[in-house]
Structure 1
């Protein structure tokens, strides 16, 4: 990734957090955290990684709500960030948080079993 695409990604992350948190009133969208935004080198596509508080159904509903609002979100980004062309937005779940929690649980279980021996 180029320095420019990294910078655009960081700016988009900041703006997306604000837009999703304040501007979108879709009841399907739960408590969303934008964890990362990765923009391709040609600034055409932005993969937005999110984590959602709640169960699998709430996660899926949030993704549907964000997909519905994608046009609005993209136009808001276009107004806030000065680019010739606003990147296409793709929402994905950030699996790294779940992965980290799983590792932490395993480490805790290992430590706990060591103390019992």
Structure 2
């Protein structure tokens, strides 16, 4: 079992690097904005790849997810010419909300600190 886990991790890294290059150079859709692949998780049987991305501006996240999902067939075909695997995983795109969550938490901490300072002063 560890061999499969190691292999899926290795394939995930390869898929992520190739997808980033394909999206940047081959996918010419003005609706996308600046897309960054943040993580790729490949199932142990290599049948699915969950691709997590961020996009600037953040308002384009829903549109970018639709565009990338619509282009998944094209991207998968291009991956097959770049990666030597028996089958290329089916691509599932998800907007990575980690950075948004981090900003919200940092803002909440800043507000709590400011509130504590105001209570200490008064």
TM-score, scaled relative to structure 2:
0.87
Q: Distance in 1 between matches of 2:58 and 2:84?
A: 37
CA offset digits 1:64-96 (Å, max 9, x no partner):
221221111111111111100000000001122
Structure 2 portions without partners, runs of 5+: none
Aligned residues: 116
- 3-state DSSP class of the match of 2:45? coil
Q: Which has the larger radius of gyration?
A: 2
Determine the structure 2 residue equivalent to 1:115: 117
Q: Distance in 1 between matches of 2:112 and 2:14?
A: 40
The CA RMSD measured in Å over matched residues stands at 1.4
Counterparts of 1:70-109 in structure 2, within 5 Å, are 70-109=72-111
Counterparts of 1:34-73 in structure 2, within 5 Å, are 34-56=37-59, 58-73=60-75
Task: Report the Cα offset of residue 47 of structure 1.
Answer: 0.2
Structure 1 portions without partners, runs of 5+: none
- 3-state DSSP class of the match of 2:41? strand
TM-score, scaled relative to structure 1:
0.91
Determine the structure 2 residue equivalent to 1:16: 19
